[in-house]
Amino acid sequence: MTRPVQLLILSRCLPAAVLLLSALQVQAQQQDTVLKEVRVRGRHRVSADTRLNDFATGQQVQTLDSAVLSLPGNQSMATVLSQRLPVFVKAYAFSGLATVAFRGSSAAQSQVLWNGVPIQNAALGVADISAIPATLINRAHVVYGSSAALSGSGNVGGALMLEQEPARFDTGLRQLSVSAATGSYGQNTGAVKGAIASRRWYLQAGVTGQSAANNYSYTATDGSRQHMPNSRVQSGSLMTHAAWRPNKHNTLDLWLWAQQYDRQIPPALFEALSRKEQQDNALRGVALWQHYTRKGGMLYARTSVIRDGYTYTDEAINLRTTGAVMQYYQEVGWRQHVGRNGKVLLFAPVQLSWLPAGADSQHQYRTALAGAYTLQLPAVRTEISVQARGERINDQNIFLPGAGATFAATRWLSLRANAQKTYRAPSLNELYYFPGGNASLKPEEGWSADGGYTIGAGTGRWQLQHEASVFDRSISNWILWLGGAVWTPHNIARVHSRGTETSTRIAYTAQHWRLGLHVATSYVLASTTESYIPQDGSTGRQIPYTPRYNGRVQLWAGWKQLELQYLHSYTGYRYITTDESAWLEPYNTGNITLSWHTDLRHRRVGLYAYCNNVWNVRYAVAAYRPMPGTNWMAGCNVAL
């Protein structure tokens, strides 16, 4: 392998970040390193985004907090989501691209937002969640179902919302933590995070680095055991957050995320060899100004610029291509309390995406005017919300309404419902990629609805939470890539997705003991009901790479500072053709985590050990891309 260009982050940003964080006179940081569970909320009070906090009534949201995300062994959001939530993460081998899909949607129909800004690649229309370092994210919200009126067109199946730690203007705030982990196949990761604040200023920074050979063994098509070649990964990320509060009515936040991700692309099972490599780099910046009025209102303005660049090489055929895609995002909004129990939100987003290619540059321009109104009715224990969005994409005008409601039937039972119009315009690559783009593609559009209930009960020692949801979505002009030597996107007419989801959590606490069980399941039917392609055999068949059954089981037992967890995942059949003539077998994987933490000389110390795929299952998430067998990782975290 030709050595990749020296990593942008590690060579330029890491030394400066370490010097900055080391210079802080830090005090002990008291943080809970016990693995906290996924929380599911009908009323959302955990997000910094007012759209999710105050106006997403009736939507199902699951939240992963920093106690889970910051563990040294969690290299990426792909690892966290695939192990802990019943969503489908499509991973192209251990070191390859990974995307997430919700409720039978495609990856392109799922949004990923960072501090309120969509960050999926503007050309591809998807985000590689294997390149998102979980340890630098403070909270991750998984929003199930469409919320297009609030989040914009393209949000069809759901959204992954990533947030940094909110600014804390505290003169006593001094934090510094260091974590590192090592494991099988040459895996090594490290992270340094720190923060310092005053009454008016807040500064936080985090930097991570990762390297792995990924030379795990697998079974080749001839039955022999081989070691995965050309699979090395090196990456580095830097995230910073600076905030200024000149007075109690105004705050200004600035976030910066710089990243370099270099990976070799291993051969698929049908390839004799691979000498492919790809270097991805990204620079993302977000600025947010918020003004709080004396009457409970808020004015805000959010601006973002994102550049995603890549270099792809294949030495076997002497190929080298480079490119970049740019995205500018601007949003201004106003939130106001109306009466004693109402809130109103008006906002106007603008988004411009383009491929810098001289005279042949392609672009997509979006403008919108959106509003939402939420009303609480305490007398009948009900909350309702209505939303509407008028959006223009290039020369196409669309209208996206939505509504949701929650009802507290008793102290322990609540009901919810939500309905949304959905719409997704084809991405730049789907329209213009050469060879294979299809400029005649129609946009995907339809309606989605879901509802469910939550039961919560408990005593001093026992806690029970049970949830169930049903959903239904119909999309016209569904886009699917088909082909052989050259793949081309096509509209395959209408797709009907429906299914159920459940989540049950039981926890017991007594003195020094903690015991718990969490079971999450999903059942999804996503089938073609009409087809534009005659006799293609897709009608009534499951959409490719949409498992009908998905489930997660989490068991934990803790005693004082020691905690043992077992995570079990099941993924059902995934058909890889539209007529269900070929498929991937279901698979079960188990993962064990052992953690211990204590205070040593005013320092918080945590030790962690992981054993992944403990049953040594041979499986593939994507066709012809085998995953590793049993592997381990051990790490530590120190809060100085």
- In sequence order, the 6+-apart residues with CB closer than 8 A to the CB of 430 are 108, 125, 437, 438, 441, 479, 489
Buried b / exposed e over 546-557, threshold 16 CB at 10 Å, is bbbebbbebebe
Q: What's residue 74's pLDDT?
A: 65
384 touches 374 (CB < 8 A)? yes
d(CA 201, CA 265): 44
d(CA 202, CA 172): 11
Q: Is residue 31 helix, strand or coil?
A: coil
Where does the pLDDT of residue 14 fall: very low under 50, low under 70, confident under 90, or very high at 90 and above?
very low
Q: What's residue 93's pLDDT?
A: 79
236 pLDDT above the threshold of 80: yes
* Ranges assigned E (strand) in 534-578: 549-559, 562-571, 574-575
Q: What is the mean pLDDT of residues 511-517?
A: 94
DSSP 118: E
Q: What is the mean pLDDT of residues 20-49?
A: 43
Cis check for the bond before 72: say yes or no (omega within 30 of 0): no
63 touches 48 (CB < 8 A)? no
Residues 266-300 pLDDT 10s: 999 999 899 999 999 999 999 999 999 988 899 99
Tell me which of 69-78, 486-495, 532-541 is least confident: 69-78
Tell me which of 21-35, 140-154, 207-221, 610-624 is least confident: 21-35
Tell me which of 44-48, 107-111, 346-350 is least confident: 44-48
50 pLDDT above the threshold of 60: yes
Select 8-278+285-639's CATH number: 3.30.200.20, 2.60.120.260, 2.40.170.20, 1.25.40.390.
Answer: 2.40.170.20
Please classify residue 303 by burial: count the beta carbons closer than 10 Å to its beta carbon, then call 0-12 exposed, 13-18 middle and 19+ buried. middle
Where does the pLDDT of residue 361 fall: very low under 50, low under 70, confident under 90, or very high at 90 and above?
confident
Among all chains, which residue has been given the structure tokens 């959010």?
Answer: 302
36 pLDDT above the threshold of 80: no
343 token code pair:
């809130």
Counted residue by residue, the chain has a size of: 640
468 token code pair:
């169930």
Where does the pLDDT of residue 194 fall: very low under 50, low under 70, confident under 90, or very high at 90 and above?
very high
- In sequence order, the 6+-apart residues with CB closer than 8 A to the CB of 13 are 207, 236, 238, 258
Q: What's residue 40's pLDDT?
A: 38
Q: What is the mean pLDDT of the chain?
A: 89
15 pLDDT above the threshold of 60: no
Q: Three-class SS string for 163-203?
A: ECCCCCCCCCCEEEEEEEEEEHHHEEEEEEEEEEECCCEEE
Adjacent-strand bridge partners of 193 = 177, 206
Q: What's residue 45's pLDDT?
A: 52
123 pLDDT above the threshold of 50: yes
Q: Is residue 276 helix, strand or coil?
A: strand
Q: What's residue 46's pLDDT?
A: 67
Residues 542-558 pLDDT 10s: 999 999 999 999 999 99
320 pLDDT above the threshold of 60: yes
Q: Is residue 149 helix, strand or coil?
A: helix
Q: What's residue 5's pLDDT?
A: 35
Q: Which of 95, 48, 61, 93 is nearest to 76 (CA)?
A: 95
203 token code pair:
């500064």
Of all residues in the chain, what percent carry a pLDDT higher than 70?
92
d(CA 584, CA 566): 25
Q: What is the mean pLDDT of residues 410-425?
A: 96
Q: What is the mean pLDDT of residues 236-265?
A: 97
